[in-house]
Amino acid sequence: MWNQWQHLADSAPARYKRYGEIDRTKLAEEDAGEIALEALAKVVGNTALAEALTPVLQAVEISLRNWMDRAIVAHLQKLQHTHADDWLRHKPYFMVPADAELAKEAADKLEKQVNDGNRTTFSHDDMVATTSFALWGNMLRSNNVWSALSSYKQGRLTKGYPDRHALHKAVDDIRNLRNRAYHLEPVFA
């Protein structure tokens, strides 16, 4: 058992050492095998947990992106913003440069697919789906986005959160959990 764990651990030492550091020189061979088996069980258990969380995390992420987008579109339409229905491509006033860059990366990726012949065009909905989850969490730092979310559908998006900081923290916690699950890092460290 020691050799199988050691082979696995040696393939990606930075990743697997999180599940159990084993110093073979300090252990009897039978102890090393037991510890290796325990570490391997942690890897397998974490993988199963990540797989179980994935559908829920995907649903939360998709819902959050789309609810936020609808709220922002409605907010910009009230303000008679020229590009309300396609705001991600047109850097609205509330978007900080780093967020605008994340949106541009999504547009560039979709544009490349058009240029490569993999799609004929792309819509605002495609932009929403292609942007990183980090963008949506980052935008919660904006008072304008908080205002849009608070006023949309009688504040259903912000219910239970006293301010934008609390909602941002909740979304950031979800993003961190999502990243740990998707990258097969220990889900609960």
pLDDT digits (tens, 9 = 90+) for 47-103: 899 999 999 999 999 999 999 999 999 999 999 988 999 999 998 888 999 999 999
Question: What domain count does the chain have?
Answer: 1
- Segments forming the whole domain that contains residue 128: 51-182
If DSSP states are collapsed to H, E and C, what string results for 96-110?
CHHHHHHHHHHHHHH
Counting residues of the chain whose pLDDT is more than 90, the rounded percentage is 57
106 part of a folded domain: yes
Counting residues of the chain whose pLDDT is more than 70, the rounded percentage is 82
Is 137 in contact with 167 (CB distance < 8 Å)?
A: no
**DSSP conformation class of 6:** H
- The average pLDDT across 144-155 equals 89
21 part of a folded domain: no
45 part of a folded domain: no
- The average pLDDT across 2-20 equals 65
Is 171 in contact with 137 (CB distance < 8 Å)?
A: yes
CA–CA separation, 52 vs 183, rounded Å? Answer: 14
User: Residue 180 pLDDT > 60, yes or no?
Assistant: yes
